[in-house]
């Protein structure tokens, strides 16, 4: 039978494994970003595009709420 401490340890172990996996994924992503010389430009363009879409949807939602 598992004691409470054993259950807590197994949860911590799973969290550590997940953290390690996430760290590996983040490191691979950073390496890929450093290899792309236009990374910052591409990132800025993507953020601008998303911001414009969000603003457009908010405006549409506000107009539809005003009509109701």
pLDDT in tens, 30-63: 999 889 889 899 999 999 999 999 999 999 999 9
Q: Check if the beta carbon of residue 41 is closer than 8 Å to that of residue 47.
A: no
Domain that holds residue 48: 38-68
Q: Do 51 and 63 fall within a single domain?
A: yes
pLDDT band per the 50, 70, 90 thresholds, residue 67: confident
The count of structural domains within the chain is: 2
Question: What is the four-CA torsion angle of 5, 6, 10, 13, rounded to 10 degrees?
Answer: 70
pLDDT for 5 equals 61
Q: Do 10 and 30 fall within a single domain?
A: yes
Q: Do 18 and 30 fall within a single domain?
A: yes
Give pLDDT tens digits for 4-38: 566 566 555 666 778 889 999 999 999 998 898 89
């Amino acid at each position: 039978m598992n004691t409470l401490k054993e259950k807590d340890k197994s949860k911590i172990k799973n969290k550590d494994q997940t953290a390690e996996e996430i760290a590996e994924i983040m490191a691979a992503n950073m390496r890929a970003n450093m290899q792309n010389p236009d990374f910052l430009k591409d990132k800025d363009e993507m953020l601008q595009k998303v911001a414009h879409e969000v603003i457009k949807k908010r405006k549409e939602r506000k107009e539809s709420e005003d009509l109701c």
